Every structure is written in C-alpha cells, then in structure tokens.
Structure 1
Amino acid sequence: MNLELKGIIPPMVTPLTENGDLDDKGLRKLVEHLISGGVHGIFLLGTNGESPSLTYELRKELISKACEYIAGRVPVLVGITDTSFQGSLAIAHHSKKAGADAVVIAPPYYFPISQNEMVDYLESLVPKLPLPFMMYNMPSCTKLHLSIETLRRAKELGALGVKDSSGNIDYLYSLIEAFKNSPEFAIIVGTESYLPETIQKGGHGAVAGGANFFPRLFVELYNASVDNNLVKVAELHQKVKGLYNTIYSVGKYESRYTKGTKCALAVMGICEDYMALPLRKFADIEREIIRGYIKDFDKNLHDVTM
C-alpha cells in the first residue's frame, strides 16, 4: 500500500458519555469538524485519545465507528501500543477489519526497556501486523526515547515514518537530517508549535492536538509553511503559540493539555468533555475560562485563515 503521511493529522480525542461509553453523536460531529477543517488524516487512540484508559471493547467500537464515519475521506491511523503484545495485535487486526489505513507503534509502557529490547519487540511484532505502521516517540509516557538507530531498524522493517513527541527540537532536527535521503519516511512532529520549523527543515507535518478544535488554523499554517509564505507563517504561528498561554495553561499537571482540548470541544458544542479515569474533566470555573479563550480566538481567527 502506498500511503503518504504528511500535513495535519489530529490525534483525535475519544468522545465519551458521563458513564464512560462512547459518545456516538459527539464522534460523528467531531469527525465532520476535522474533515471540514481540511485535515490530511486522523490518528485514533493516541495520547489525546486516552487509549491506555479505555477497554479493548471501547477501543474497537471507536475504531469501527470512526472508520465508518470517515468513510475513506482521509487516511486513518490507529495507535496499538499496549502493555500486552497480543493486545496490540488484536487492536491491529481489528483496525484492518474496520478499514483503517495504518497502525502506530510506541514502546510498550510500564517496564523500562532498552533500545535493543525495542528492536527485538519490533522484529517480533511487525511480521504479524496486517497493516503498514508508523513509529511514535513519546518518552514522557513510555520511558524510552527512541534512538535514530532503532528508527533506522524500524524503517528497514517497513515503517512509514515517525511521530516525534519528545519536545526536543535538536532531536527532531537530527531525525530530519538522518532520513533526508529517504523522503518516503515521514518525519511528523507531535509538538505542534514546532510545525513551521519542521516543514522548513524538510519534515512532513504534525500530529497536532490543537487541530481537534481549530483544524483550519493548523492546516493553513502547514500550507503557509510549505509555500514558504513567511509573513503568513509568522501570523499563524503566533496564534498557535497563543494556545499554550491560554487553553493549554488552564488547570494543573500535564493532563491539562488533553483536558483543555476536550473542554474546548465541549464549549464549541462538538462533543462532551467527559474523561476516562484516572482523569476528570474540568470543573465549571475552568470551563468558563476556556469558553472565554475560545470566544477570543473566534474573533480573530477568521481573517487569518481565509
């Protein structure tokens, strides 16, 4: 399969009801919101999707329904990372059956593992996968920062590219440099504020959490970066960086990014902001703060994304 990974691929949140079931109505609205915003793909069951906190049954339901609603309009990537090897394979095979286009692999979490053990893991897992795969570097959640040597081996095994969410821009640049002669191996940044630098250095796009609620902003920033429209890049980049001082700054702890993203979607009327335990949605006071931020952004986003 010739799957080109590029552009803006939101790590879609998983809409939930108050009792923890899948919010089907919210899922439909969210899918349409993303696609109408011009995104180039959708990534299910990533960090923003709360994957480790969801049952296998709910993950499978999300994959099936999301693929049905997306209906082939953009590529669908599914995170299969799990503490269980067989659990990862089960989600991968369900993804294939549901119509997804690729799976995404990060190091299994909980046990700290070495680079050699990660390579052994890939050499065992990849031959059993029913779909193409992409790597995911998320050391803050997995305890392993994927080395370039490990990623070279992943590429030899067929990896389509890597999403880097390390937050280390020097490492990101080293990835782009290491694979500059392999343009088919996509370098996708997970730190959304690094999008312009990623494209300017030769990378391919972003898995941007903020594209859940403002997809058009990120798509336009990507397009401006590709076109080397430096004036528009500067203007749009300021809007993206503004998210860190507003929506992403509400609340405590690192969970504020996912909670803020879901809360933004809720105040926009797209889906509810219920979270899977151990996370909890924001209280009313935080919700009203985010509502104010969304209103402020809405006032000035229209002109810069036209």
Structure 2
Amino acid sequence: MTASARLAGVVPPLVTPLTPEYDVDTASLARLIQYQLSGGVDGVFVLGTSGEGTFLTDEQRQVVLETTVAEVAGQVPVLAGVIDTSTNRVAAHVSAALKAGVDGLVATAPFYAATHPAEIERHFARLSALAGETPVYAYDIPPRAGTKLPASLLTSLYEQGLIAGIKDSSGQDTSLRELVLSRREKRLDGFAIMTGSEVTVDSALAFGVDGVVPGLGNVDPAGYVRLYKAAVAGDADAARAEQDRLFRLFGIVNVADRSRMGASSAALGAFKAGLYLLGVVSCPLTAYPSIPLNDTEIEAVRPLLQRAGLH
C-alpha cells in the first residue's frame, strides 16, 4: 500500500490473543489472521483499541507486529497502532512498526496532557516525517484521547501531506458526515475516511465513508465483507439485512456483568469469547487490568453466535 492508494473496505482491528500466562499467543494470532483472510477482509489493523496495544509491553507489541506481517505475507495491508501519550513515545513505536514492515500507521492525538490543535498538528508532522513513504492515519476516539479531531484540522493535515486518512471512532455521525462533505467540497479524493462503528456501517457507507474498522469483525469478518460489498453494489436492502444481523450479534458486548467490570473489558472479553467458542483462539483472556469474562458469561455468548449463523 502506498500513500496514493486510498484505504477502503473492511479492515478489522484484531484482538491480541493471550496465553493463560499473559504472553502473546502467536499460534492463535496466526489462526485469527487466517480467519480474517478467509473472510475476505481488505486489511488488518493490529495494536489498536481492540488489540489492547496500550496494555502490552514493547516486547509484546513487537511479537504482534512480526507475527502479523509474516502471517499476512503481503496478501492485504497491515496497519499498526502506534498509540501512546506523547510524540516521543509514539515515535519509538513508529520505528518499531516500520522495522517490522507494516504498510500503514495509526495514531491518536497525544493524550493525558491537554493539547491545542497546533500541538496536534506538530505531533502528526513529526510522525509523518518519521514514517517517510508509509501512510499515517489519524484515529479519532475522543473518549480515550480526550479531544475531538474536527473536520477542519483533519482536512488540513491531509492537505499538508501529514496523514492519509482517518479512523473515526467518535460515535458522532454528524461530525463524520461533516468530514465526508468537507472532503467532497475540497476535492480531497485521496483522503480515506473509515468508520469504527460496528452498528451503523450501512448508513455510513451510504453517505460516503470508504469502509469500516469493526471490532466485531474479529468474530464475523465475512459478515462485514458481505455488508460492504452489498453497499458498494447499491443493494441497500441486502446491506441493511446484513447490518441488522450484525447489530444483533453485537449484543455479545452486553453479556458481561457490568457491575464488576468496565465497558472495554466487557466488549473485548466478548470478542475474545466469541473467537474462543469458534475455535479460533485458545484462550479468551484479556490483558491487565481488564477483568476477564467468567465461564458463565463466555457461555452466554454462544446462543448469540448461533442466532447469527456462526458455529
């Protein structure tokens, strides 16, 4: 993938399978990648939110990067999250990801310390310089990064050649639509806009986004591929039907007892539980400090998989 080739289609943000000892389970990761490739995905994204990238050590991150690049073997682009609190820390992740041979980099704005738009611009300018010819994608996830990336800033970053596109996980459809309109009005045809929302993909594709980065795509990559193809073909009824099925499948994120764990633990635990029940990963453990699903909660995922046609 080059900076001139616009990212599109279905690019799931892969979970990071762990062993009972909390090491990266490379055999399960390889199976997960093959499951994605057989589902027809257009790319894979590792070390993002679903990949628990900020919870892993640098050594574990490198294992994920090297395993993924080797297993994908150039069949689809590999995007790597380089997410950390400061530009200098992100820069080290950029270097490691480039060394592993990834095809794209995904970064949030700096977080923890409050940042001004001018400082976010400096951040991406530095990352772009370090990345060279490898495209950099901004990741808009306000609940985690603490700031919303406005359309004006994103289009400016693209016009300066600092980013190739955006993964929008803001959950704000109005701002996403504003970004699509801004791209059209400014004729920024190469600027990739991907939604991170699993449950509104059909409508987002209808108003002009290029694809989806769905955490639920770990569990059902083929379903999202069917949804995307139907939408691109103009078959709104088929796209809506597939989205409705995936909407019900997304109910797996609600099986955990939220009185004892946070939303991230519940969602990531559900994705890993689904993959465990499908025989793709060997252990459904989530990284510290997340609380893993218990056996009862894991088993509660099974009927939702079955209702969605997954066995």
Band the TM-score falls in, shorter-chain normalisation: over 0.9
Contact 2:177–2:207 under 8 Å retained in 1 = yes
CA RMSD of aligned residues (A): 1.5
- Pairwise CA distance, 1:158: 3.3
- How far off its partner does 1:64 sit? 0.7
Mapped partners of 2:293, 2:19: distance in 1: 15
Is 2:128 the counterpart of 1:126? Answer: yes
Cα distance in 2 between the residues matched to 1:123 and 1:98: 22
1:247 aligns with 2:252: yes
The residue that corresponds to 1:258 in the other structure is: 268
**Which residue number in structure 2 is paired with residue 280 of structure 1?**
291
Contact 2:47 2:80 in 1 (8 A): yes
Q: Secondary structure, in 3 states, of the residue corresponding to 1:292?
A: helix
Shift of 1:113: 1.7
1:108 and 2:116 matched: no
Cα pair 1:89 1:129 within 8 Å, conserved = no
Distance (Å, rounded) in 2 between the aligned partners of 1:199 and 1:83: 31
Is residue 270 from structure 1 mapped to residue 280 from structure 2 by the alignment? Answer: yes
The residue identity in structure 2 corresponding to 1:88 is: V
Per the alignment, in what secondary structure is the counterpart of residue 12 of structure 1? Answer: coil
Measure, in 2, the Cα distance between the counterparts of 1:86 and 1:3.
28
Q: 1:158 aligns with which of 155, 162, 174?
A: 162
SS of equivalent to 2:231: helix
Larger deviation, residues 216-225 vs 123-132: 123-132
Residue type of the alignment partner of 1:159: I
TM-superposed CA distance for 1:18, in Å, is: 1.2
Report the residue type matching 2:178 in the other structure: S
Which deviates further from its counterpart, 155-164 or 14-23?
155-164
Q: How does 1:34-183 map to 2 (within 5 A)?
A: 34-130=36-132, 131-155=134-158, 156-180=160-184, 181-183=187-189
Between the aligned partners of 1:49 and 1:226, the Cα distance in structure 2 is 28
Match of 1:235 among 235, 241, 248: 241
Is the 8 Å Cα contact of residues 113 and 143 (structure 1) preserved in structure 2? no
Please tell me whether the aligned partners of residues 12 and 44 of structure 1 are also in contact (alpha carbons under 8 angstroms).
Answer: yes
The answer to whether the 8 Å contact 1:12/1:209 transfers is yes
What are the superposed Cα offsets for residues 181-218 of structure 1, whole Å, 9 maximum, x if unpaired? Answer: 22210110001222112221121000011110100100
Aligned to 1:13: 15
Q: Deviations over 1:215-269 (max 9, x none)?
A: 010000001011110221121111121123x212112232222111111111111
Q: Secondary structure at the match of 1:298?
A: coil
Q: Which amino acid aligns with 2:139?
A: Y
Instruction: Tell me what 1:304 maps to.
Output: none
- Which amino acid in the other structure matches residue 38 of structure 2? S
Q: Does structure 2 retain, via aligned residues, the 8 Å contact 1:20–1:276?
A: yes
* Residues 150, 175 of structure 2: 8 Å contact kept: no
Displacement of 1:4 in angstroms is 2.7
Q: CA deviation at 1:3?
A: 3.2
Task: For 1:153 and 1:32, locate their aligned partners in 2 and report how far apart those are by CA, in whole Å.
Answer: 37
Count of matched residue pairs: 299
CA shift in 2, pair 1:232/1:213, >3 Å: same
Q: What residue ranges of structure 2 are gaps of 5+ in the alignment?
A: none
Q: Which amino acid aligns with 1:240?
A: L
Query: Unaligned regions of 5+ residues in structure 1, if any?
Result: 302-306
Does structure 2 retain, via aligned residues, the 8 Å contact 1:115–1:147?
Answer: no
Cα distance in 2 for residues equivalent to 1:185 and 1:49: 25
State the one-letter code of the partner of 1:127.
A
127-136 vs 160-169, which deviates more?
127-136
Identity %: 30
- Please, what TM-score do these two structures have when normalized by structure 1? 0.94
SS in 1 for 2:115: coil
Equivalent position SS for 1:28? helix
Amino acid in structure 2 at the alignment position of 1:200: A
Alpha-carbon distance, 1:174 to partner: 0.4
Contact 2:249/2:308 (<8 A) preserved: no
One-letter identity of the residue aligned with 2:301: I
Distance 1:67 1:113 in 2: 33
* Corresponding residue of 2:214: 208
Cα deviations by residue, 1:27-85 (Å, 9 ceiling, x for unpaired): 11000000000000000111000011100110011101110001000000001011243
CA contact (8 A) 2:125 2:162 kept: no
Equivalent residues of 1:263, 1:281 under 8 A apart: no
One-letter code of the match for 1:58? Q
How far residue 172 of structure 1 moved from its aligned partner, in angstroms, is: 0.8
Deviations 1:151-185 (A, max 9, x none): 12321233111010000111110010011222210
